[in-house]
Chain A
Amino acid sequence: MEKTVFKQPKRAALWFGIVALAVFLTPSGSNAQEQMPPPVTPDTIDRGHAFFANNCGICHGVDAHNGDKGPDLNTGHFKHADNDADLFRVITHGVPGTIMPANDLPAEQVWAIIAFLRSTVVASRTVTGSNVAGGKAFFWKAGECVDCHMVSGKGGVLGPDLSAIGSLKTIAYLTQKIRDPDKELTTGLREPNADYVVPISNSTVTVTTKEGNQITGIPRNEDTFTIQMIGTDNQLHNFLKKDLQRIDHAQKSLMPAYGEKQLSDADLKNVLAYLSTLKGGRE
């Protein structure tokens, strides 16, 4: 019998919650990996636009603004959601106490709609007084960002692939993630439905082998008998739990906090300006 007590990863909790609901609402059973947001391409955004227009356009307007009943969704701020998991929930389950209904859509369509909504946020993309070339240089050299993040096929795999980040996230979100990666961006943002908030948070795992070796990284998958992770060496590591002394999960990002010492406000603006140019195409 497995006796190890595992600290529970929040991200896994989130995904299992969503997956559980998705399994309930959609015909096909599937596992957590299959329900992760698929990679975003310009095609995804176009398809998301079509799904949005068909399912949401009657209230929100076919281009996500100037709708008759629903709010504009291209402002970079959502009243009931500001991360993708929240958006997924709002789309699939509606908003209680409002006319926003639950929508019985396949997960793939919901993610495409979310990608489309993220791509509509035009206004917040402008970073005034910035220097894209300087931001790019920092990202690829001094900042060592590429040690962990990949852009258009180059870089590390520990952090999220940023090839299309300019289409996906607001400047405010990126600023937070760079300055204070562990801050929960959803806390206290919504009333009266704050209970419904499912914050995206970071998950780090450290395993200790029977021999006493420790490997830290990002958990990729886990079940009753095994765990798969990417270590800080940017390599995949697969373990049988019976070969491990312990597994420690932490709700903490491996991303270092870039304070003003490491990254001046001017450099931050430049990096944000550079990230805003990343839309999923070739460099």
Chain B
Amino acid sequence: MMRRQVAIVFLAGASFIQLAWTQTAASDPKSWLTFSGNHAGWRYSQLEQINKANIRRVAPKWVFQTGDLGKFETTPLVENGVMYGTGQNGKAFALDARTGKAIWRYNPNLPADTRACCGNVNRGFAIHGDRLFMATLDAHVIALDKRTGNVLWDTTAVDYKLGYSFTVAPLAVKDKIIVGVSGGEFPIRGFVDAYSMDTGKRAWRFYTIPGLGEPGHESWSGDSWKYGGAPAWETGSYDPELNLVYWGTGNPAPSNYGGKREGANLYSNCMLALDADTGKLKWHFQFTPHDLWDYDATQTPILLDAAWQGKPRKLLLQADRNAFFYGLDRETGQFLFAKQFAGQNWAKGIDASGRPIVNPETVPTKEGVTVCPGWAGGVNWNPPSYSPQTNLFYVNAREEFCTIFGGHEETPLAGRYFYGSTFAPPANRKDWGALRALDPLTGDVKWEFKMYSAGWGGVLSTAGGLVFTGDNEGNFMAFDAATGENLWHFQTGSPIFAAPMSYELDGKQYIVIPAGSALLAFGLPE
């Protein structure tokens, strides 16, 4: 797949800015071959059959049922008429992408005591050749034969009983599979791993907490580095020219008490730039140093080449869980700008070097303090989208979403929860959600659409001039990508915890969203 994806396309947008577009979705835009649709994290489909003019006629074409309960978070992949997805409880499936009929199902015997904090979820496969790659709840990385679902290799990354798990969709880079571990709610030491696609042998590991003698180790007091969390539970992005993998990390543990982990706690809540071949750290940028509010920086970064302040730049953009939108130079890690995109009270601003000016009144106390954004952030993992057609960055923001965090010392016990906190929703606040379109070079909000509550839907943009997302009350919605006008919605019957994708088969475009136990495929009437 990789060799076909290195095309560079230049686009003249509606605006005066010339955008260099590295890493197209694939040479064949009818497929969907990676978690984000391309390695730049865009979640953008070049298909335009479904567009602003006909979206109101779009209707369900088929529905696939996983048969399992729990949050359904996969982004399915489509290649040569077959759809490959992962379900709840470690399961997976291959479908006829025309009809949704199952070709095979993968039903592993997972141990009952896996340690996923927040549901037995998985966000999808990576694909290469005849192989599918999956990271599992019991902290294995496995390869399946895409034709049969048979296991080709099965590598144990780490002992899940210590609090580790995988929920991430792996990233396929060259001959390797890259994964990041989950478990920031447990006393773990996070890492990003690369495995040989061929053998399953581990090629490299980057510990997100530096060991003895390594730079950054001094940012942890005492033994706190041994169980300081910093997971890496969301799929990163990749720049083939720089050969760098960009991967976000999560909170230091325990999340709401910092008294025993004094220091900046590197590399928690960072964007990491790792050499794809060796895993060596090229640069890092820490969004929320010494985090006390669970502000994971794990959301998939969007890579964009654009003129920033008159100079061509290789940019990395992230709408961070801490409620600020960041622009970095992805060659050097240099901080360029930050702009608030969701309500917050924890920071009085971001200084010229990119460090937050923390509001001391939001430091958790034993009695509890009200902090915004609360435990799920200004946005959670649900991926954003970038459209080269509109030159806008789309993100689902969480508003009036606050938490009373009470922090207290806690003893780390292997495999047991390690929060250091009590948390509760404050009275008299009703959260709400907003799909926002941001200027990628400034973070200015160009439009927003308000939703009834703060949700978990990811975003897809398409060349049909549309943006798709789902809300917490089950509405799957389409918007005019330029204006934010709501053009279409469909009640799926379940809160949506996933991001849409799109593909084309037999000359027909489909838009797909998981909701509840169902994978729903939408298209135009015959």
Interface residues of A (CB under 8 A from B): 1-2, 8-10, 12-14, 16-18, 20-21, 23-31, 89, 93-97, 102, 104, 192-193, 195-199, 222-225
Residues of B within 8 A of A (CB): 69-72, 116-120, 366-370, 375-376, 404, 406, 408, 417, 419, 422-431, 449-454, 471-475, 477, 484-486, 489, 494-495, 497
B368: contacting residue among A12, A16, A18, A193, CB under 8 A? A193
| Residues of chain A with a CB closer than 8 A to B477's CB | 224
CA–CA, A25 and B421, complex, Å: 14
Collect the chain B residues with CB atoms within 8 Å of residue A2's CB.
Answer: 449-450, 486
8 contacts between A and B (CB under 8 A): A1-B485, A8-B429, A13-B428, A17-B425, A20-B425, A24-B376, A196-B424, A198-B424
User: Lowest 10 CB-CB distances: which A-B pairs, in order?
Assistant: A17-B425, A8-B430, A223-B473, A29-B71, A96-B406, A13-B430, A96-B422, A224-B452, A27-B119, A28-B70
- B residues near A95, Cβ cutoff 8 Å: 422
Contact of B69 with A24 in the complex, beta carbons under 8 Å: no
Residues of A within 8 A of B486 (CB): 1-2
Cβ contacts under 8 Å, B119 to chain A? 23, 26-29
The verdict on A21 contacting B425 (CB below 8 Å), with A28-B70, A195-B368 known, is yes
Which residues of the partner chain A approach B375 to less than 8 Å between Cβ atoms? Answer: 20-21, 24
Residues of A within 8 A of B366 (CB): 96-97
Contacts A9-B430, A225-B475; is A29 near B367 (CB within 8 Å)?
no
Q: Which of B428, B452, B475 contacts A10 (CB 8 A)?
A: B428
Minimum CB–CB distance from B342 to chain A (whole Å) comes to 15
Report yes or no: A93 in contact with B71, Cβ–Cβ below 8 A.
Answer: no
In Å, the complex CA distance between A31 and B477 comes to: 18
| A interface secondary structure, majority | loop
B428 touches A195 (CB 8 A): no
Chain B residue at minimal CB-CB distance from A241: B452
Residue of B367, B452, B474 most packed against chain A (CB within 10 A): B452
Given A29-B119, A29-B494, A223-B471, are A97 and B452 also a contact pair (CB < 8 Å)?
Answer: no
Residues of B within 8 A of A10 (CB): 427-428, 430
Partner of A96, one of B367, B449, B485: B367
A224-B367 in contact given A24-B376, A28-B71 (Cβ < 8 Å): no
Q: Are A27 and B473 in contact (CB under 8 A)?
A: no
Q: B367: which of A94, A102, A193, A222 is its contact (CB, 8 Å)?
A: A193
- When the two chains form their complex, are residues A97 and B423 in contact, meaning their CB atoms are under 8 A apart? no
In the bound complex, residues from chain B placing their C-beta under 8 Å from that of A102 are 417, 419, 422
Q: List residues of chain B with CB within 8 A of the CB of A30.
A: 495
A27 touches B422 (CB 8 A): no
Q: Which of A16, A31, A93 contacts B422 (CB 8 A)?
A: A93
- Among the listed B427, B451, B497, which residue makes an inter-chain contact with A29, where contact means beta carbons less than 8 Å apart? B497
